Structure 1
Amino acid sequence: MNTSLQLYNTLTRKKEPFEPLHAPNVGMYVCGPTVYSDVHLGNCRTFISFDLIFRYLKYSGFKVRYVRNITDAGHLEGDRDEGDDKFAKRAKLEQLEPMEVVQKYTLGFHDVLRVFNTLPPSIEPTATGHIMEQIEMIKEIINNGYAYEVNGTIYFDVEKYSKEYNYTILTNRNLEDMLANTRELGGQDDKRGRLDFALWIMAKPETIMRWPSPWGVGFPGWHIECSAMSAKYLGDEFDIHGGGMDLAATHHTNEIAQSEAYSHKQPAKYWMHTNMLTVNGSRMSKSLGNGFLPGELFTGDHSMLKKGFSPMTVKFFMLQAHYRSTLDFSNEALDASEKGFRRLMNAVNLLGRLIPSDTSDFEIQSLADNCLKAMNDDFNSPVVIAELFEAVRIINTVHDGKAKISAEELVKLKKLINDFVFDIFGLKDEDSANTELNSVLDLVIDIRKSAKENKDYATSDKIRVGLHEMGILLKDSKEGTTWNKI
């Protein structure tokens, strides 16, 4: 088990040694998507980042329960418990039942993450499947004196809570400044305090998604769902809570408040947040016209893209930036990642063709140690990638006959590549699945070999040049002929 892992904790704003509450078991909760529309790239980056964390924790010997929820109720258009329910609004637009909308976009979300080769979570609960848990938590919060009812709607009393707990512990914001920057309550507003938020909302006559409760027919607020589901599956205290940085100021702040008001315990020991995506230096946004969906990125069917990029190229691009760093999309950056990923995969394909020597010019263990050290430093994937390209250099140098590697070191090199490229990063060679191409190329290389043996150099050269024009480079050596994609 890896005991040297350091995580950046948003709660304390510093790196801390990772000490699970119940080692070797780790509880990790990540706020999943609101499934009323197609998943966007910001979501993808968050879930790819936490897939990396999930994979590395498992690789390090921890038994991980990874819970990632599906938000399918209670998400209103406004942050102040105002506006239409997003699922009901989408249902009206598409002339579907709300749960048809949920099913449609949940399946789309799963399809996108499957294309990115992410592992499924251990548990994927839905808000609508845990209404009773949310009601029971709200009842206990009321009993503890931190919530109040007004006309069938239950509000969380932030002022009462703030007298006993630090409401802004996650963001370090000044509570007085927050109050000053929040508009005055209107005469129609039932809240006692400007920062109070709804735990349960009374249903209007036209509300489609509604459930019975002790306070009348209504539906849960957005924030309560995660508190209820994380407590159900991970307990009142667990190890890691994560999501995008945009969730910290409101959603996660309110989660902490609800959970402490319910159990008098801070729910998560470590809070982790992924940073935003930008496009050519500007924040990615549908309203700005610079936001695009994963499918558009794969096909290139968007005015800002000059061509499509494969899912693994996009994933590799994301892994080249630390999860807490801003990631800027541009055609040039994706082009560079495409070339880098192809170079990595070419080297991986060459690895199985290397012939060991009695001696070695390389010591692979130091390379593996550097990769582990980088991952232990808050999952520093960019540093790992730099070390992997050192492994690429070694593979190419040995393959070209310019250096030697022993059988023992070759085994270590293969393990390094398998561990970090495939098991931890979750990358895959998108060309390796095309076994027919491999078989055809093997046949063509055999035909060329026969032509050379028969001194039919015209046919031999024609094959070599033709393959080169198709983007396949042949390399002849005393061990035989190998090929790479250019």
Structure 2
Amino acid sequence: MQLYKDQHIKIYNSLSGTKETFTPIDEGYVGMYVCGPTVYSNVHLGNVRTFMSFDMVFRYLKHLGYKVRYVRNITDAGHLENDADAGEDKITKKARLEQIEPMEVVQRYTVDFHNILNTFNFLPPSIEPTATGHIIEQIELIKDIINNGYAYEINGSVYFDVHKFNETNDYGILSKRKLEDLIHNTRELDGQSDKKNPQDFALWKKAEPQHIMRWPSPWGDGFPGWHLECTAMSTKYLGDQFDIHGGGMDLKFPHHECEIAQNEAAKGQSPVNYWMHANMLELNGQRMSKSTGNTVNPDELLSGNNKFFSKAFTPSVIRFFIAQAHYRSVLDLTDDGLLASEKGFYRLMDAINLLDGLKTSETSSIDIKTWKQTCYNAMNDDFNSPILIANLFEAVKYINQIKDGSATISAEDLALLKETINTFTFDVLGLENVTKKESGQDKLSGAVGVLIKLRQEARANKDFALSDKIRDELAEAGILLKDGKDGTTFSLS
């Protein structure tokens, strides 16, 4: 069904800084590109939040009846440390440290990426291209940029001439930065002196003798620049101009800024009509950082094997928690927040599972059609999932009122209520219908709680042998006890 003809979406466009009515280039079709992971480590929970936001966008567009071509790439070459133009490739460095082939690194972490996203019930993209699979396209793109006078070759490397481009174009149009105000990177790095200006960025880098990942080009053996890859892959599959480009807020500058410049330099037009950026995920009010130890990966959150959370959480509870914040808002991941989301999630599931047993009446005391449109209104307003969830809990209230007899509903309205709440909960938000009982968490928590109580009694009686035996045998079974100031909790190893 072509629901999009009656439902009009507004998208916050980072390019204009305003919400704009979404009008695709071709009616009924949407081209969407999202920057995928650089596969040199396990996928970060912040990345999961970003990809989950665009999975929800993808799901809603499909629900409205659009034919969506969703392209999300895999960066498997050319992404240097600190997002720089010089230094070591992230994947090559990981391969050197682990003494394996770079493509072993790529394979290992691509598999991890897919496994995690499958666990969280993501829909696969329409196309998932790799940077190494599109070297020819990137070389041809560089040729176009050179021929148009916006790039130069020196010592086997090719750089984008930012100053020349800015004479007739606006470098900084997305990030709202002015070229003269940009902070220059003045560190002495390999190849830095080759640039005409510090702001110029690499389109192609000469491969030094020790560089493993290398390809032949008109300028010598080398590898592509990180920014170039997304320009080549997005335009190959979506055309020189397409509807939506998404990614994390951290990619707005320089990555997305450079994508715009490259496309304008090569094709003479801006590549994207609507730029969307998902905001950051914090942990206990602070930015996640490996260096400070303030970080948790998806597996640790799912298993409970971490120092931040009191228990394990199911994928749908985590997904529900993330959806309770708007994609453009900073989201703070906390134990209290997840515990509250867990209660809300199971309350929603319990209500949905009551629908089949509800009694119908001749008339309805609840206006289901108006409620249904409020769900669409929420998603039409820049994919506002928190408002959608609030509307779903209005339906939970209705369901409980019908159950206890304080409200009535006709068979026709009950069918509409059931269809709508299932559509938005499972098809759009991507949640899975798992009750607390089915998840086994109640039974497990109860059983472990009994053992924790027995252990506490043993310690009180100074029977430390029994106390240690309970702890050690639970650990062997994959259940780790954690003693804290607020008592003993457990996690799954």
Who is 2:254 aligned against?
250
Q: Distance in 1 between matches of 2:39 and 2:291?
A: 19
Deviations 1:307-336 (A, max 9, x none): 111111110000000000000011000110
Q: List aligned pairs for 1:114-125, cutoff 5 A.
A: 114-125=118-129
Q: CA shift at 1:23, angstroms?
A: 1.4
Counting aligned pairs with the same residue, the percent is: 60
* Matched-pair contact (CA < 8 Å) for 2:171–2:178: no
Q: CA shift at 1:434, angstroms?
A: 5.3
Q: Distance in 1 between matches of 2:70 and 2:260?
A: 19
Q: List aligned pairs for 1:254-403, cutoff 5 A.
A: 254-403=258-407
Is 1:239 aligned to residue 238 of structure 2? no
Deviations 1:60-117 (A, max 9, x none): 1211100000000001113331221111111122222111111111111011111111
Deviations 1:406-429 (A, max 9, x none): 101101110111110011111112
Deviations 1:445-469 (A, max 9, x none): xxxxxxxxxxxxxxxxxxxxxxxxx
Who is 1:8 aligned against?
12
Q: CA shift at 1:190, angstroms?
A: 0.6
- Sort the Cα spacing of 1:435 and 1:34 in 2 relative to 1 into closer, same or farther, 3 A: closer
- Sort the Cα spacing of 1:296 and 1:435 in 2 relative to 1 into closer, same or farther, 3 A: closer
Is 1:60 aligned to residue 64 of structure 2? yes
Q: Secondary structure at the match of 1:162?
A: helix
- Deviation >6 Å, runs of 4+: 184-187
Who is 2:34 aligned against?
30
* Matched-pair contact (CA < 8 Å) for 2:12–2:276: yes
- Sort the Cα spacing of 1:43 and 1:263 in 2 relative to 1 into closer, same or farther, 3 A: same
Who is 1:47 aligned against?
51
Q: Distance in 2 between matches of 1:94 and 1:64?
A: 40
Q: List aligned pairs for 1:190-201, cutoff 5 A.
A: 190-201=194-205
* Matched-pair contact (CA < 8 Å) for 1:185–1:191: no
Q: Distance in 2 between matches of 1:80 and 1:293?
A: 25
Q: CA shift at 1:290, angstroms?
A: 1.3
- Structure 1: which 5+ residue stretches go unaligned? 438-486
* Matched-pair contact (CA < 8 Å) for 1:185–1:194: no
Who is 2:467 aligned against?
none
Q: Secondary structure at the match of 1:163?
A: helix
Q: List aligned pairs for 1:134-149, cutoff 5 A.
A: 134-149=138-153
Q: Distance in 1 between matches of 2:165 and 2:292?
A: 38
Q: List aligned pairs for 1:451-462, cutoff 5 A.
A: none
Q: CA shift at 1:123, angstroms?
A: 0.3
Q: Secondary structure at the match of 1:358?
A: coil
Q: Distance in 1 between matches of 2:355 and 2:186?
A: 63
Q: Distance in 2 between matches of 1:389 and 1:171?
A: 37
Q: CA shift at 1:398, angstroms?
A: 1.4
Q: Distance in 1 between matches of 2:88 and 2:270?
A: 32
Q: Secondary structure at the match of 2:171?
A: coil
Task: Decide which of 175, 178, 182 is 1:174's aligned counterpart.
Answer: 178
Q: CA shift at 1:388, angstroms?
A: 0.3
Who is 2:154 aligned against?
150
In the alignment of these two chains, the number of paired residues is 436
Task: Decide which of 183, 207, 211 is 1:207's aligned counterpart.
Answer: 211
Q: Distance in 1 between matches of 2:185 and 2:206?
A: 23
Q: Distance in 2 between matches of 1:436 and 1:154?
A: 57
Q: CA shift at 1:436, angstroms?
A: 12
Q: Distance in 1 between matches of 2:74 and 2:176?
A: 28
Q: Secondary structure at the match of 1:239?
A: strand
Q: Distance in 1 between matches of 2:192 and 2:123?
A: 47
- Structure 2: which 5+ residue stretches go unaligned? 442-493
Is 1:100 aligned to residue 80 of structure 2? no
* Matched-pair contact (CA < 8 Å) for 2:36–2:75: yes
Q: Distance in 1 between matches of 2:169 and 2:192?
A: 29
Is 1:408 aligned to residue 418 of structure 2? no
Q: Distance in 1 between matches of 2:100 and 2:276?
A: 36
Q: List aligned pairs for 1:391-470, cutoff 5 A.
A: 391-431=395-435
Q: CA shift at 1:403, angstroms?
A: 2.3
- Sort the Cα spacing of 1:107 and 1:329 in 2 relative to 1 into closer, same or farther, 3 A: same
Q: Secondary structure at the match of 1:103?
A: helix
Q: Which amino acid aligns with 1:384?
A: L
* Matched-pair contact (CA < 8 Å) for 2:86–2:192: no
TM (norm. structure 2) is 0.86
Task: Decide which of 172, 183, 188 is 2:186's aligned counterpart.
Answer: 183
